[in-house]
Amino acid sequence: MSIITIVGAGMMGSAMCFPASDNGHQIRLVGTPYDREVIQRIQQDNFHPRLGMPLPPNVTAWQYEDMDEALKDCNLLIAGVASFGVDWFAENVLSRIPDDLKVLSITKGLEDEPDGSLVPISVAYNRYKLAPGRKLSICSIGGPCISMELCKRLHTSVALCGDDSDVLHWIKSQLITTYYHIQPTRDVVGIECAVAMKNAYAVGVSLAIGLAQRNGEELSNPQAALFGQSVREMLRLVHLFGGQTESVIYATSDLYVTINSGRNRKLGEALGQGMTLQQVLDKYPGMTLESIPIITKAARALRKRHELGTANFNKFPLLRHLDEIINQGAEVRIPWNEFG
Amino acid sequence: MSIITIVGAGMMGSAMCFPASDNGHQIRLVGTPYDREVIQRIQQDNFHPRLGMPLPPNVTAWQYEDMDEALKDCNLLIAGVASFGVDWFAENVLSRIPDDLKVLSITKGLEDEPDGSLVPISVAYNRYKLAPGRKLSICSIGGPCISMELCKRLHTSVALCGDDSDVLHWIKSQLITTYYHIQPTRDVVGIECAVAMKNAYAVGVSLAIGLAQRNGEELSNPQAALFGQSVREMLRLVHLFGGQTESVIYATSDLYVTINSGRNRKLGEALGQGMTLQQVLDKYPGMTLESIPIITKAARALRKRHELGTANFNKFPLLRHLDEIINQGAEVRIPWNEFG
């Protein structure tokens, strides 16, 4: 039995309590400053108000002021913050842990570098966000997982990526259950790039939903064409950065569920209907849209590479159009003839 | 302007009238023996009863007794029959045409050979179904296309495959429109295998729908896991036969639309609910299920290859389970632990 500390009491961080608890571990769920009321409520009667259900038995909830206590003697730290919280996590959590503590990140995101590289969150922690010279063992998880369904213990299949096979297999052994299927892989850049990019492309495919609503049409063929182009561009991007085709499969099935619901679907749909980004943001105040920085950074990286001659941005017409819509106020006008 | 003869007045063959007509061609839609009443009705008032709409102007409808006349001077023959009609098509249509007539097949299907090879329909015509020594130029088309949406001129993106680049580009020039996007490729085995297999895997992914209904559950995560495994197995199969990753993208987006509706979805859903294949067939009499021979032949080919040591059937656990359900009366029990 291990002690697993999860930081971030949002949907996905909290959902990780279920497979972890079913493995008999002791779980400490620590809130960020945004989770104060959630943690209070769990401390009161074990009910998680965002999930709308009680947490499993061996979970305790902690406010972030008690972080040191919650990290004490723990065997695995799970980073359950959103991509907007990674700097906070590095400063307030990673700074306090011993170098040999294993870390599992469930945050999706990318950072772009001046030479047009795209760096996954787990790499970015080690490259920029820790004290110089410090190196942590950070794995991450990606794949199609609606958190509420994981809480209900429905079959869920994800990839677990990291540099060290032994660490991967140990983390897998801590979390695998009869319903939570975990496939270890060392293709960090492939998994993390692809599952971050699927947030961007979920907006792209959902444009077809909004366009169809605007025109009173059906949408299967256009949506499928956008889906295919999304997979094509994710593959190209992952191959460009040395990742593997297999990893894109997780992003493809993740894209498939993401389009059915969620915030990125809502954004794409609204843009397809003809709303501007600002109108969408005004309509849903406070909605965090991880797709926006991902589209922006990926497009910036590819544009940079195009200038440097290390990539052809024209092979990413859907991403380029998403960037034009999000960052240049362009109207939705799918570049069908550039697809392929 | 060309003369294009389409044989088969089913949904997909008939839908091809629309892009062909928008290119200003003269189109002759010829019914099979099953289409007698459809053709009669079109001859009467131009209304296509299966599509529920009139055909575009420059289309004429012909009974199959008038085949010779309908084939006279035509520049392109489109095979619009279902996979169950390929022998009929070879005997009654291909036997009558000159060797230099270009043929475009829209039929999805595979034939398995004694050594465990899987042969696409367009290749099977030339290999078995024509008079010995005869060779025709047969291209084929595949990708996500709901026929009714093509009739409504919605954006549709498909791959056109064949051996000869000049022929591919000529056919593309005859059919491309502002809404019908055609990508030529010489990866015949990749496109045809993948788009045939997606019918099999549409049953596989739809099992999750029926299982969820049976248990009163949600289904996104299990369905996505099945979707991912389907893409993985389609890639493996296509690579096994020398096809390309890019071609599987068309099958992936085709799988995506096929799951949303259609007969293979209905079959998978019913099996997932706990019905036997026979009960499903009894419930929907006369429903043609192209997935059944595809599952059967692909599983037979891979089992054969496994025996010969030229493939590992264990890398196709979803296909194997589908074959067990369809051909051995097995209960649905998704082999989650074998996925990956």
**Residues A109-144: pLDDT tens digits?**
999 999 999 999 999 999 989 999 899 999 999 999
Q: What is the pLDDT of residue B111?
A: 93
Q: What is the pLDDT of residue B261?
A: 78
Q: What is the pLDDT of residues A143-178, one digit of tens each?
A: 999 999 999 999 999 999 999 999 999 999 999 999
Mean pLDDT score, A58-79: 97
Mean pLDDT score, A43-65: 96
Q: What is the pLDDT of residues A79-93, one digit of tens each?
A: 999 988 999 999 999
Which of the residues in chain B have pLDDT under 50? Answer: none
Residues 69 through 108 of chain A touching chain B, CB cutoff 8 Å: none
Say which of A245, A253, A334 has its CB closest to residue B225: A253
pLDDT at A218 > cutoff 90: no
pLDDT at A285 > cutoff 90: no
pLDDT at A286 > cutoff 90: no
CA distance B66 to B30: 8
CB contact under 8 A, B249 and A257: no
pLDDT at A279 > cutoff 90: yes
Q: What is the ipTM, given to two decimal places?
A: 0.95
> Torsion angle, CA of A254/A259/A262/A268, rounded to 10 degrees?
130
CA distance A225 to B95: 36
CA distance A183 to A66: 33
Q: What is the pLDDT of residue B53?
A: 97
Q: Which band of pLDDT confidence, cut at 50, 70 and 90, is reported for residue A204? A: very high
Q: What is the pLDDT of residues B239-292, one digit of tens each?
A: 999 999 999 999 999 999 999 878 899 999 999 999 999 999 999 888 888 899
Say which of A221, A235, A254 has its CB closest to residue B149: A221
3-state SS, one letter per residue, for B279-339: HHHHHCCCCCCCHHHHHHHHHHHHHHHHHHCCCCHHHCHHHHHHHHHHHHCCCCCCCHHHC
Quick check: pTM over 0.90? yes
**Residue B303 burial (CB count, 10 A):** 17
Q: Which band of pLDDT confidence, cut at 50, 70 and 90, is reported for residue A287? A: confident
Instruction: Tell the residue number behind the tokens 């009238």, with chain if given.
Output: B17
Q: Which band of pLDDT confidence, cut at 50, 70 and 90, is reported for residue A217? A: confident
Instruction: Tell the residue number behind the tokens 């309509």, with chain if given.
Output: A283
Interface probe with A: pick from B147, B149, B221, most Cβ of A within 10 Å: B221
Q: Mean pLDDT for chain A?
A: 95
CB contact under 8 A, A223 and B257: yes
CB contact under 8 A, B334 and A227: no
Say which of B181, B223, B229 has its CB closest to residue A225: B181
Q: Output the CA–CA distances (angstroms, integers) from residue B178 to A22, A334, B1, B51, in the order listed.
A: 54, 12, 18, 22
Sign of CA dihedral B275, B276, B278, B281: positive
Q: Write out chain B residues lying below 8 Å of A145, CB-based.
A: 221
